[in-house]
Amino acid sequence: MLREDLRNIAIIAHVDHGKTTLVDEMLKQGGSFRENQVVAERVMDSGDLERERGITILAKNTATYYNGVKINIVDTPGHADFGGEVERVLKMVNGVLLLVDSFEGPMPQTRFVLQKALELNHRVIIVVNKMDRPDARLNEVGDEVLELLLELDATDEQLDSPIIYCSGREGTATMDPNRKGTDLKPLFDTILDYIPAPEGDPDGPLQMLVSSIDYNDYVGRIAVGRIERGTIKTGQEVSLCDYHVEDLCTNGRVTAIYQYDGLKRVAVEEAKAGDIVAFSGLENVNIGNTVCAPYEFEPIPFVKISEPTVEMTFSVNNGPFAGREGKYVTSRHLRDRLMAELRKDVSLGVHETESPETFRVLGRGEMHLSILIETMRREGYEFMVGAPKVLYKTIDGHMCEPIERLLVDVPAESVGSVIEKLGSRKSEMVHMTPQGERMRIEFKIPARGLFGYRGEFLTDTRGEGILNTVFDGYEPYKGDIEKRSVGSLIAFETGDAVTYGLYNAQERGTLFIGAGTPVYMGMVVGSSPKNEDLVVNVCKKKHASNVRASGSDDALRLIPPKNMSLEEMLEFLGDDELLEVTPESLRIRKRILDHQLRMKANKK
């Protein structure tokens, strides 16, 4: 049976192509907000980090109404590191809006998510957004999207996808690139005409795939998914099973059911096949489980989540300043928090090690793990992380490593230095196309070749380059890559950094700290241009003598320290270094703090 009163769609877009802004307008014009309601911009980005970085990490669900039809809109993450989210979400919908920027065109992450949607045979509506940009290339971008669909082996039906030109900011849509629209009516009409209504038998035995998990302190775990068949009611007894886990068969009772209306979850008594719902009551439910009628075990095949490619160690902070700034500092706190994250994020892996204070955390990329670190830090956790490492795999007896597809968009004068640097990192150029005064170049590069490259790339392109990556697969090991080309400046003793000490140290390299910063022996206070570590005494005061007073430090001019973000610090980390993360500070330190012991260990 078709549910003509319902459409389920997902939005696919690259980071910053205006996806969340367009959804805001769809909600406003669909009447999901009251006339007088004050609406935050980018309502779909609910986490602080998401709003700050302009990226969507977790897939969000929302719904709006048009001509009596409910349209469930699922927002997908635009970054490949969160691909685990993307694959699950696409199982809930019947079609996708492919959103591309009117100037930049399709980007690597768009390709990644689109490929997953095409594999599921979803219909595609192409939305060229930001049509009001002065540098918009409307027709060329439309052609580029069709070329991408051809490359990804789209079916004839998918190649005939309608193209709509939108301005998310102004809330307009049109089918004709030469005429400006007045509202989003053409977009809504196309969704109703082109995206198929969900199918399902509301009278059959219940069957629903859990696509994502939310957690609430009051009701516990909340399972989100689309009902494939049957009807779910509050208080109903249900069974759980799993396509990949044969012996998982447990029973439970549904305590509350919610549907989406605008941005709110509204409690309902029952929901039928085709509806996207959230429900609570099953404490051990997990992503990929099938919820079915009692003792009628029929698991739904589930997209296997892509495997992690990067690992880091998370450990309890044991530095001299441990426990000063954090609220949660023990190994039990750290373990509980990582396990809680594991319950929500299926792309993550957490393994215990021989030491009870250290955990191996596996993720889909540096970005995936850095978001976790930043989130924990804001919650009041204090811990240390090691440098990111890639996960190797043995395929047919050969050691293979993860390969990324890298797309760079650079000014023409920077092309030489970018190609040279990437060549030394074992990359392979796939193709190169000029775009006005810029060049777009595509490479295949080992994931470890990208560690620490973003900073260099921005320097080489004078901040004008754009760099995007997406996981491509595993290939045989490409050989050794030279580690970072700079050394560290290491604090000689514990104390507060003073101007006199910093003035002498700044001649040796770039400093990361200013006067008055507390430091400890073995802490990294800067980078040295030579490829070796130097110990500097930033706490050294100018001693008073009979000849001179100690107060003439004011004349010393200090170069402002380099302030590094969390990502930059992770890129800088050497194998023998750790990053100390607290709610107030980020400090890089040596694993072995004592200079003598460290020198002995390095000689071995």
Helix axes 415-424, 453-460, angle to 10 degrees: 160
Place of tokens 């775990």: 221
**Strand 207-216 versus strand 220-229 pairing type:** antiparallel
Amino acid sitting at position 410 = V
Q: What gap in Å lies between CA 184 and CA 131, rounded to an integer?
A: 13
Would you say 409 is a known binding-site residue? no
How many Å apart are CA 311 and CA 391, to the nearest integer? 7
Nearest-angstrom CA–CA distance, 481 and 41: 44
The label of the residue with tokens 């012996």 reads 247
Q: Tokens standing for 131?
A: 């049509």
**Closest listed residue to residue 407, CA positions, set 365, 442, 379, 359:** 442
Angle (CA) 240 298 288, round 5°? 50
Count of H-run helices and E-run strands, the chain: 14, 35
**Is residue 366 within 8 Å of residue 372, measured between CB atoms?**
no
68 annotated among ligand-binding-site residues:
no
321/143 Cα distance (integer angstroms): 57
Q: Give the separation between CA 36 and CA 465, rounded to whole angstroms.
A: 42
**Terminal-to-terminal C-alpha distance of the chain:** 72
Structure-token match 């769809």, residue found: 26
Is position 17 annotated in a ligand binding site?
Answer: yes
Question: Which pair of structure tokens corresponds to residue 282?
Answer: 């099953």
> What sign for the dihedral angle of Cα 541, 545, 549, 554?
negative
For 584, counting Cβ atoms within 10 Å of its Cβ (0-12 exposed, 13-18 middle, 19+ buried), the class is exposed
**Residue count of the chain:** 604
| Distance from C-alpha of 366 to C-alpha of 455, rounded to nearest angstrom | 14
Q: Is 455 annotated as a binding residue?
A: no
**Would the annotation count 499 as a binding residue?**
no
Read off the tokens for 490. 């290491």
Tokens of 595: 């200079």
200 is in an annotated binding site: no
The tokens for 395 are 């395929």
Annotated binding-site positions for GTP: 16-21
Annotated binding-site positions: 16-21
